A = this chain, B = another copy of it.
Amino acid sequence: MNTNVRLKLPFVCFAWQIAMIILFGVFVRYNNESDAHWVQNMAQNNITSAIENDFYYRYPSFQDVHVMIFVGFGFLMTFLKRYSFGGVGFNFLIAAFGIQWALLMQGWFHSLDPSTGKIYIGIENLINADFCVAGCLIAYGAVLGKVSPVQLMVMTLFGVTLYAVEEYIILNLLHAIDAGGSMIIHVFGGYYGLAISWVLYRPNLHQSKHLQGSVYHSDTFAMIGTLFLWMFWPSFNSATTYHGDGQHRAAINTYLCLTSCVLTTVAISSLSQKTGKLDMVHIQNSTLAGGVAMGTAAVFMVSPYGALIVGFCCGILSTMGYLYISPFLEKTLKIHDTCGIHNLHAMPGVIGGIVGAITAATASESVYGMLINTFDFTGNFKDRTVFAQGGYQAAGMCVAMVFGIGGGAIVGAILRFPIWGDPADENCNDDDVYWEVPQDEEDQLESVPPILEYCNYMTNKPEDES
């Protein structure tokens, strides 16, 4: 197979970047709070202090989310022994492209002023763009090591587009709530990736089996990704929730859910081995399932012990997934899932959607004070009951799943065209295909002389010494 991407990759990068510049030129402007006119507007809007700019509510959370996208997802994917460059590097590339395209796609749906035809952006748009890209990076996890960077760019282009549409349907038409994106990000991203991996199934992947799995230091690198995801997930789920108690509660719920998830992950991981040894794959991934599952309900009054219960279940389910469901998916359904996104994102995302639907359906004024604040029952939705809201939440999850599976199948078919420079089966999981890899082998040769001397010594040493 021709894996030379010398013309394809630069062409895609240049073409899409130029398209972005043109579209941004036509459509994108600063919003009210990031425009230099804001100081004058403050006075008109009775804002007395610059600290009321949305920037100060959201920027710390935004930076945490940003770290999750680039360091979290990036380093989590460095675990393969010879695919660390591809893991962190391609993650970097597609995220950088994806957030531009997401600003446009989401902008057209959510931030377009019909009177001027412009998209007005501020810090919240940047967070949402990062969220949108997260869906595509999840999908990358399923095909890690098996696709070319050109395929990843195509996958991201379509992924962001599909995401923006399903997000619009779920948030605006169904008026579901999904602040941390259990459904919109994780269910969609998970099934999108799995469907693509299913279409691109490689029956002879065992030919690169020697490059599957990790080495000691690649597993340690991956823990950097795990921890930054784990630590900053409270910021992820609270980043776009409403000011004040909304952000506050979302952070607390996610924090608690993640802690209990760690304990049950460790428990199941240890139980699953004859000798009780822990498996790094579980620690790196299943400990995060609690953050995924708290995505929809984070802003709800699930109560602290409720959050702990969700994490408890997710740690078990996700680790079980690595032990039993992933092998089943590969053997029976022919879906190879490199990072186990089904266990980390798809299943916990579904749990999150269900938890969200139940919590919404059982909300009451005694618990919430004014339901209108949390559920935004205004405008077209002012007569909606919480019970109906529960139903719409569930409907939202179905939409996410349909978009993921359907979209992934179609995009997978596009990626099968033999024009994208994808690697042969025996070259999978190998950075050497798309990267100039430094010659560590030279080090080995340099270390030979002392070994040789030692050999000679061992061979020729006097008998009495041995």
B446 near A455 with CB under 8 A, answer no
* In the assembled complex, A263 has its CB within 8 A of some CB on chain B: yes
* In the assembled complex, A210 has its CB within 8 A of some CB on chain B: yes
Residue of B nearest to A367 (CB): B36
Q: A63-B64, A217-B217, A270-B10 are in contact. Are A245 and B38 (CB under 8 A)?
A: yes
Of residues 93 to 125 in A, which have CB atoms within 8 Å of B's CB atoms?
93, 96-97, 99-100, 121-123
A97 near B263 with CB under 8 A, answer yes
B35 near A249 with CB under 8 A, answer yes
* In the assembled complex, A17 has its CB within 8 A of some CB on chain B: yes
Q: Which of A18, A50, A303 counts the most B-chain CB atoms under 10 A from its CB?
A: A50
Cα A39 to Cα B244 in complex, Å, equals 8
Q: A63-B60, A93-B266, A100-B308 are in contact. Are A220 and B278 (CB under 8 A)?
A: no
* In the assembled complex, A30 has its CB within 8 A of some CB on chain B: yes
Task: Note all chain B residues with C-beta closer than 8 A to A28.
Answer: 303-305
* In the assembled complex, A232 has its CB within 8 A of some CB on chain B: yes
The one of B8, B24, B71, B435 in contact with A228, judged by C-beta atoms closer than 8 angstroms, is: B71
In the complex, per-residue mask of A283-307: 1 if CB is within 8 Å of any chain B CB, else 0: 1000100000000000001011100
* In the assembled complex, A5 has its CB within 8 A of some CB on chain B: yes
Cα A458 to Cα B455 in complex, Å, equals 12
B122 near A248 with CB under 8 A, answer yes
Task: Note all chain B residues with C-beta closer than 8 A to A237.
Answer: none
B448 near A39 with CB under 8 A, answer no
* In the assembled complex, A359 has its CB within 8 A of some CB on chain B: no
* In the assembled complex, A388 has its CB within 8 A of some CB on chain B: no
Task: Note all chain B residues with C-beta closer than 8 A to A123.
Answer: 248, 251-252
In the complex, per-residue mask of A360-402: 1 if CB is within 8 Å of any chain B CB, else 0: 0000000111100110000000000000000000000000000
Q: A21-B260, A273-B436 are in contact. Are A215 and B443 (CB under 8 A)?
A: yes
B252 near A121 with CB under 8 A, answer yes
Cα A39 to Cα B93 in complex, Å, equals 42
B277 near A231 with CB under 8 A, answer no
Residue of B nearest to A6 (CB): B276
* In the assembled complex, A7 has its CB within 8 A of some CB on chain B: yes
A57 near B51 with CB under 8 A, answer yes
Residue of B nearest to A7 (CB): B276
Q: Return A450 CB to nearest CB of chain B, in Å.
A: 7
* In the assembled complex, A1 has its CB within 8 A of some CB on chain B: no
Q: A51-B57, A228-B71, A305-B24 are in contact. Are A252 and B312 (CB under 8 A)?
A: no
Q: Return A270 CB to nearest CB of chain B, in Å.
A: 5
Cα A440 to Cα B82 in complex, Å, equals 12
A56 near B53 with CB under 8 A, answer no
Task: Note all chain B residues with C-beta closer than 8 A to A38.
Answer: 244-245, 248, 369
Task: Note all chain B residues with C-beta closer than 8 A to A40.
Answer: 369-370
Task: Spot the interface stretch: A84-92, A138-146, A167-175, A347-355.
Answer: A84-92
A312 near B21 with CB under 8 A, answer yes
B455 near A448 with CB under 8 A, answer yes
B438 near A262 with CB under 8 A, answer no
The one of B33, B52, B85 in contact with A49, judged by C-beta atoms closer than 8 angstroms, is: B52
* In the assembled complex, A323 has its CB within 8 A of some CB on chain B: no
* In the assembled complex, A324 has its CB within 8 A of some CB on chain B: no
Q: Which of A63, A96, A245 counts the most B-chain CB atoms under 10 A from its CB?
A: A245
Task: Note all chain B residues with C-beta closer than 8 A to A248.
Answer: 33-34, 38, 53-55, 122-123
* In the assembled complex, A410 has its CB within 8 A of some CB on chain B: no
Q: Return A454 CB to nearest CB of chain B, in Å.
A: 5
Q: A259-B97, A259-B99 are in contact. Are A276 and B4 (CB under 8 A)?
A: yes
Q: Return A457 CB to nearest CB of chain B, in Å.
A: 10
* In the assembled complex, A424 has its CB within 8 A of some CB on chain B: no
Cα A433 to Cα B270 in complex, Å, equals 12
For the complex of A and B, the 8 pairs showing the least CB-CB separation, nearest first, are A6-B276, A50-B244, A96-B262, A50-B243, A13-B267, A24-B305, A38-B245, A25-B305
A sample of 5 more A-B contacts (CB under 8 A), given A34-B252, A36-B245, is A21-B260, A39-B245, A215-B440, A277-B433, A444-B450
